[in-house]
Structure 1
C-alpha cells in the first residue's frame, strides 16, 4: 500500500524562526528543524505568514531547501492585521481552510501549533478540532541542550485517539451535570423526556436563538425555562436577569407598555418613564409564557425586537435596544393559531427554530415516583423535617397515581400540591395509609368536572362529517359509537388525550398501551383523521 504524503501546515515563527547570518544555524528554529529529522520526510510545508513577514518566510523557505531539498515549501500570505485579534485570525484561517484543496485520501496533514501567537495556536487547535483542518496537531520541542544540528523532538496529537478520551470525558461529565441541573437532579425515566433534555442542554450552551416550549398547563415549562437560564448563567453565557410574564395577564393598551415600556405622558396615567420587560431582560432571558395570548400588534413589535434587538417604547420617537434571549411557552398549537389568523406566521417562523413539546404527567407515568421522592426531599429541606411514606401507603398511592382514575389535569402542579398536603398532615414525618386514602378521594373530587364519561353527542352532526349518503349506510350501532368517539375527540387536546379517555380501562392491562394508534385506526375505518375532525368541529 502506497504511503501518504506528509503535509505540514503552520505559521512562520517571527521570533523563533528568525535570525541573521550564519549564527541563525546555531539556534533551534522550529519550522526549519522539523525538516532536519533523519527519520522524517516532510513532502510539503504550507507556510503561513502575515503581510509584513514575507521576507522571513522566504528566508525559511531557502534554509529548508538547503537541508531538505525533497520538501516543497509553499508560502501563503494571510491578511491578518493583528495576530492577537481572535476574530481576525480565525476568519483568515477559516477562509484558508475553505479554499485549500485537501486530499486526505493521498495526503496526511499535520497542523503545527508551536509557532505563532497564542491566539494563532488556539485558532489552529479549534480549526483542527472542528475538522476544518482534517489532520493531527503537531508540537515540536527544542533539544535539552543546544547543539548545532540537533532538531529537537516532535509529537503528534490525534484528537480522535482513545488516549485523549479523558479530555473528551471532561466535556461529557460537564454535559451530564448540565442535564442533571436542568432536571433538578430528578432521576427521570421517560426516554422521550430525557432525550429532549439532553438536546436542550446542548442548545442552551451553544445558541442564543429563541426557544419554544410547548405543553399542557403544569407540564413544567416555566420551571425548565428558569433552569435553562440558570445553566447559561453558571456557564457565563449571559449577565442579565430572568424575566417572566404570563401573556394571558396582558390586556389592552397595558400589554405593549408592560413589554416594551412607555415614555412619560404617552397616555393617561403615564406619570413617568417605564423601561418595560424587554429592556429589563437585557443580556438575560425573557420568558413569555402563553405567548399565543399576545395580541397581533404586540406580536409585530416583538418580532422586530427579536430580529433587530431594538424597538419603540409606547409613545416614544426614539428606538431603544435590548439584547435578550427569548424563551416562549404555550399550551396551544401555534401552527393552528397561524392558520386561524390569531398568530403571526412570521413570528411563529422566528421562534420555531428550537421547539420542544413537554409531555404531561399522564404521558410520563414512570416519572411519578422519582418526582415524588424529589418533592418530599424538597419539603424536608424547606421545613427541616424528613417526610416519608410507610410501605403500604406508598404502594396505595402509586397504584392510584398510575391508574386511569388519576387524571393529573394540572400535571406536576397537581402532584406537587398533593405531596405538600400529605407531607403537611404527616405526623412524625410518616405518611400513612389513611392520609393517602383521604388524598386520593380529594384528588378524584377535584378532577370530577374533567371526567370524560358524560359525552354530549347532540352536537355531533354525522351528516356534516361523513356526508348524508355515507351516514345512511351505517348501522345504528356504528353511528352511535362513532358519534361518541367524535364527541370525545372534540373535547380532547390531542389524539393521545382522546385515546386515553376512550381506552381508560383496557389500557391498564397493556404493558405498552398505544391509545393514539388504536384511535387512529378506528377513525380510518370511516376514512376520518384527527386533523380532519378538528377542522369540522
Structure 2
C-alpha cells in the first residue's frame, strides 16, 4: 500500500482547543492520525496566518498520537476565506507548485474542515485532477470517548469507476440525441455521428455554431432543438430569436438586428431594441447569414466578440450576451474569396461548422421520417392514417430512388405526406393515391427540366471540354455516352447527386456504395473534372 498523504484545511472551530480538555472532544484533523488500521505518512495542513498558534498545537498533538506522521504547516495568505475567487486562486497556485508523486504516494483531500467555500474549492480541484487522489470525509464516533478517532470515508471522483453513474450519463446523452432528432430513428450513419457531436457541443459550449445545408435540410429546426435542450438544462434564460437574413434589405437590416434610436432616420418614430438585444441570455439564429451586407457583418462581428454594439443612430453602446447559431445554404468560403463575406466574421463563426445532408443524401432516413410525419398528422387532426403495404412499398421505392430529387428536402417530404394523409379515405393510403402523388412530385421537380432537355446534345460541346482533337478521336458510342453523362452532371446539384442517378441500378448490387468516386474516375478518364462541368 502506498503511503497516505492528507491535504486539508485547519478547522478553526472543530480543531480548536488548548487545554487538557481538548482530548475529550473529537477533532477532525487529529482524528485522521488516530486510526490503528491506517497510518498517515504526511499531512499538508493549510491555515491562515492568524491561526498559526492553533496550527502549532494541532501539529504537536498529531506528533503525540502518531509519531510516524510528518505534518507540514502551509500558511495561505487569504484576506477573505469566504471569497471564492481568492480561495480558489490561492489553492490552485499552491497545487500547481506542489510536487505530486502518484507513483509512490496516494493523496487524500480532507473536506470536513475549512469554510464551505474552501471545501467547494478542494472538491473542484480534486474533480479536475489538479489535486490527484480521493476525497476524505471524517465523522465523530457515536459516543465520544477520550482518544476515539471516529470514522473516515473515501470518495473517488473518477466517474469511470462508477458503472451505474456512467450508464446514467450515457442514457442522458442518448435522450438528448433523440431529442435533437425529435425521436426519429434515423439510420444514416453520417447524420447520426453528426448529431452525436452536436449534442456534446450544444450542452458544453456557448460559442457560435454554423449549420450548412440546402434549403429545407432542417437547419432552423435543429437550431431550435439545440436551444430547447440547453433551456431544459437551465443553461439558457433568454428566448430563441430567429430571422432569415435574406428578408433584411437596405437601412432596415441594421435597425432590425441592432435596433435604433428615435429620430435616427426617417420613420424612426420611437426607440427599437433590435433582435440582438431581444436574444440576450438566449439564442439568436441567423438563417442565410451569407445574405447580410458587409456593414451589418462588421457590426455583428463586434457584437459576437465584445457582447456590445451601437444601435443605429446611438452614441452609447448597449450590451447583449447571446449565443449565435447561423445557417447558410451557400459556400461561405467562396464568398470570402470573392469579397462578399468578411473573412474575420467567417473565422469567428467557423469554430463549430456542421454540414446537414439533404434528404436525397439520406434515402435510408426517408421511411422513419414518413412515420414521424404521419404521427404528427394524427396528433394534429385526431385521425390516424396508414399506408397499404403495396402503396408503402411503391412510395418508398420512388422516394429512395435517384429519380426523387427532393429539391425542397424535408419541406417537400412533409408536403407530400400531408397531401397523402389528407386525401386518404378511411385512414388508408392506397396505391392509386401514391401513383398520383409520384406524378405530382415528378411534375414539381421537372418544372425546368423540359427547357434544359430540349436543348439536347447541342448544349454539350465536347470540343470545348476536351479539345477538338480529343473529341474527334472518340467513337460515336463513347461520344454519345459522354454527352449524356455531361448533361446529367449539369442538371445535378452535386457530384454525388449525379452519381446516384447514373448508377442507380448497379449501386444496389455493390457492398460499398461510392457513386461520386465512380463518376469522378469516369470523368478523369476523359481528362474532365466535376467543377469544370458544373460551371457550364
Q: How does the TM-score come out when normalised to structure 1?
A: 0.91
Secondary structure at the residue paired with 1:216?
Answer: coil
Distance 2:82 2:337 in 1: 52
Shift of 1:185: 1.4
**Aligned counterpart, 2:374:** 376
> RMSD of the TM alignment (CA)?
2.7
- Are the equivalent residues in 2 in contact too, given 1:286–1:327 (CA < 8 A)? yes
- Whole-angstrom distance in 2 between the partners of 1:423 and 1:96: 68
Structure 1 match to 2:137: 139
**Aligned partners of 1:418, 1:303: CA distance in 2, in Å?**
40
- Residue equivalent to 2:324: 326
Shift in Å at residue 489 of structure 1? Answer: 4.8
CA separation in 1, counterparts of 2:473 and 2:5?
Answer: 78
1:475 counterpart = 2:474: yes
- Report the CA distance shift for 1:521/1:204 in structure 2 as closer, same or farther (over 3 A): same
Pick closer, same or farther for the CA change 1:369–1:143 going to 2, 3 Å: same
Give yes or no for contact 1:387–1:429 (8 Å, CA) kept in 2. yes
Q: Pick closer, same or farther for the CA change 1:85–1:412 going to 2, 3 Å.
A: farther
- Pick aligned residue for 2:310 from 309, 312, 316: 312
267-276 or 490-499: bigger deviation: 490-499
Does the 8 Å CA contact 1:403/1:508 hold for their aligned counterparts? no
Distance 1:277 1:25, change over 3 A: same
Match of 1:73 among 56, 71, 94: 71
Residue 533 (structure 1) shift: 6.6
CA deviation digits over 1:400-435, x for unaligned, max 9?
211222111111111111111111112222222222
Match of residue 4 from structure 1: 2
The equivalent of 2:223 in structure 1 is 225
Which segment is superposed worse, 405-414 or 61-70?
61-70
How much has 1:278 moved relative to structure 2?
0.6
Question: Could you tell me whether the CA contact under 8 Å between 2:88 and 2:121 is conserved in 1?
Answer: yes
Query: Contact 1:12–1:57 at 8 Å: present in 2 too?
Result: yes
Distance in 1 (alpha carbons) for counterparts of 2:142 and 2:98: 36
- What's the TM-score once normalised by structure 2's chain length? 0.91
Instruction: Go from structure 1 to structure 2 and tell me whether the alpha carbon gap of 1:320 and 1:365 turns closer, same or farther (over 3 Å shift).
Output: same
In 1, distance between residues paired with 2:290 and 2:310?
Answer: 22
Q: 1:257 to 1:134 in 2, by over 3 A?
A: same
Per-residue CA distance 1:354-405 (angstroms, 9 max, x = gap)? 1111111112122111111111111111111222222222222112211222
- Unmatched 5+ residue regions in structure 1? none
Distance (whole Å) between structure 2 residues aligned to residue 456 and residue 236 of structure 1: 59
Q: Counterparts of 2:159 and 2:237 in 1: how far apart (Å)?
A: 37
Match of 2:399 in 1: 401
My pick for the range that moved more, 450-459 or 50-59, is 450-459
| 1:522 to 2:522 alignment | yes
CA contact (8 A) 2:127 2:158 kept: no
Relative to structure 1, the CA distance from residue 66 to residue 231 in structure 2 (aligned partners, 3 Å threshold; closer, same or farther) is same
* Structure 2 Cα separation of the partners of residues 91 and 169 of structure 1: 34
Corresponding pairs, count: 533
Gaps of 5+ in 2: none
2:124 corresponds to 1:126:
yes
Q: Give how far 1:516 is off.
A: 1.9
Deviation of the 1:307 alpha carbon: 0.3
Instruction: Report the CA distance shift for 1:148/1:456 in structure 2 as closer, same or farther (over 3 A).
Output: farther
Aligned-pair CA distance for 1:524: 4.1
Instruction: Tell me the distance in 1 between the aligned counterparts of 2:469 and 2:154.
Output: 76
SS in 2 for 1:43: strand
- Could you tell me which of 54, 57, 60 is aligned with 1:56? 54
Describe the shift of the 1:268–1:21 C-alpha distance in structure 2 as closer, same or farther (beyond 3 A): same
- Structure 2 distance, partners of 1:111, 1:38, is 20
Q: Quote the Cα distance in structure 2 between the aligned partners of 1:187 and 1:118.
A: 46
Task: Spell out, residue by residue over 1:148-181, the C-alpha distance to the aligned partner (whole angstroms, 9 max, x if none).
Answer: 1111122222334777322333333322222221
Distance 1:324 1:150 in 2: 56
Tell me whether 54-63 or 423-432 shows the greater mean CA deviation: 54-63
Does the 8 Å CA contact 1:404/1:505 hold for their aligned counterparts? no
Q: Which secondary structure does the structure 2 equivalent of 1:137 belong to?
A: strand
Instruction: Measure how far apart 1:80 and its partner are.
Output: 4.2
Query: Where does residue 203 of structure 1 map in the other structure?
Result: 201
**Maintained 8 Å contact 1:57/1:75:** yes
Which residue does 1:110 correspond to in 2?
Answer: 108
Question: Deviation of residue 61 (structure 1)?
Answer: 2.3
1:83 CA drift (Å): 3.8
Tell me how far apart the structure 2 counterparts of residues 106 and 527 of structure 1 sit (CA, whole Å). 66
Q: Distance in 2 between matches of 1:464 and 1:95?
A: 70
Q: Which of 234, 237, 256 lines up with 1:236 in the alignment?
A: 234
Structure 2 residue matching 1:342: 3-state secondary structure: coil
CA separation in 1, counterparts of 2:293 and 2:371?
A: 41
Whole-angstrom CA distance in 2 between matches of 1:82 and 1:521: 71
1:153 and 1:211 map into 2 onto residues whose CA distance is 50
Alignment of 1:253-332 (within 5 A): 253-332=251-330
User: 1:451: how far off?
Assistant: 5.3
Assess if the C-alpha contact under 8 Å between 2:33 and 2:65 holds in 1: yes
| Partners of 1:266 and 1:102 in 2: CA distance | 63
- Tell me what 2:172 maps to: 174
Show the counterpart of 1:150.
Answer: 148
Q: Deviations over 1:35-73 (max 9, x none)?
A: 111121222222223454444333322222222222222
